[in-house]
Structure 1
């Protein structure tokens, strides 16, 4: 089995990528998807397992924040994967991602909501 050379051309005129770069891009995408699934599970768990008697509003806000953040990360991971793949094929610089600040801000919001809910309980 021979590997394509880095300067080989595909049918569309784009460069054929070294498979290691494509696989690294896929691993990054899958890591973002695992994060999204974790947020989804967290949102469902909060909604299902937290006693709604005293902090119903916070329970709903935390669960919805996790679910919205999970959706944003999943969609952002796909678009970032596509943009990186296209940039590598064109030989351009890799694009930046907005996922890191979105995820950081979202987790900070969820943490604040959970902290307030714990303090009120």
Structure 2
């Protein structure tokens, strides 16, 4: 029996990563890790929005009317879904751009977060002013 290490797992990973990343040169690991940290920050933001949406629906029944509570909850949960999915595509597009030494793509999920957060805040301000 041969006890020499094989490169089969590495070859499988190399095939998968070359398919996923579509070629290019390996970037500086610091940049790849920074891209990963940014991805994880978007995921944390998504999880916070998810928890906020669940909390609004579960614990705000005495404070908000059912229609407003449901609307706020759905907006927060939808933002969580879109930011979570968008962060994957953002990570992938940035990684591909770094490998090709191309300009980094614009962050399309940033306006979503800003506009969605502003919309929820405006709804809460309106509710507080009316109440």
**Normalising by the residue count of structure 2, what TM-score does the alignment of the two structures yield?**
0.78
Q: CA deviation at 1:80?
A: 0.5
Match of 1:107 in 2: 117
Counterpart check, 1:78 vs 2:105: no
Q: Identify which range, 51-60 or 32-41, moves more after superposition.
A: 51-60
After alignment, is 65-74 or 46-55 more displaced?
46-55
Contact conserved, 2:56 with 2:72, CA < 8 A, in 1?
Answer: yes
RMSD of aligned residue pairs (Cα, Å):
1.9
Q: Of the two, which has the highest radius of gyration?
A: 2
Q: Give the match for residue 7 of structure 1.
A: none
Pair 55,17 (structure 1): closer, same or farther in 2 beyond 3 Å: same
State TM-score, norm by structure 1: 0.84
Task: Show the counterpart of 2:55.
Answer: 45
Tell me the CA shift for residue 18 of structure 1.
1.0
Identify unmatched segments of 5+ residues in structure 2. Answer: 1-13
The residue that corresponds to 2:70 in the other structure is: 60
